[in-house]
Amino acid sequence: MGEFSLLGMAEKLVLAEIAIHTAANAALERVAQKVEKTAKDEIGVYQDAIGPFDAWPELAQSTQDEREKLGFMPNDPLLRTGELRDSISHEVHDFEAVIGSTSEIMEYQEFGTSRGIPPRPVIGPAAERNHDVILKELGGAVVAGLIGGDPIHPSLGYDRVVE
């Protein structure tokens, strides 16, 4: 049995902190990519309710007629040119992932307006749909950091599920 020293323990804790930080940021990047892809995939397709988010209401007939007149498919919610979908991106920095849109229009769609546009949230539901992936990725990152990056035994439930 080896000797125990406070200095040795401190060194192990510092190395574990570095390993956890590295693994967590890598996991956040994978999770952010997955949530971004899910959000983009939701554009143009009616979404069911999930978590605290209601199902998307059908586009009004007047909206469908206008879309068709302008040369767009009549019943692809939030999708016209693809500009709104393409405005969704992510950034990861020091234990923080931000997934969002640079388009002002996304805010109106996410929350609705007082002028009759009902909410058709995209970002929140995309995160909710990836709830299990988020837990496995981030939990696995912490465990991997604590054990020094060695393979995690599948019985712990942190097997990778990100596609």
What average pLDDT is seen over the chain? 87
C-alpha closest to that of 43 among 144, 125, 145: 125
C-alpha closest to that of 143 among 13, 20, 4: 20
The full set of domain ranges for the chain reads 6-156
C-alpha closest to that of 13 among 115, 148, 134: 148
> Which tokens sit at 51?
């978590």
> pLDDT confidence of 163, banded at 50, 70, 90?
very low
> pLDDT confidence of 158, banded at 50, 70, 90?
low
Give the pTM: 0.82
Burial 65-83 (b: 16+ CB within 10 A, else e): eebeeeeeeeeebbbeeee
> pLDDT confidence of 95, banded at 50, 70, 90?
confident
**Structure confidence at residue 153 (pLDDT):** 61
> pLDDT confidence of 53, banded at 50, 70, 90?
very high
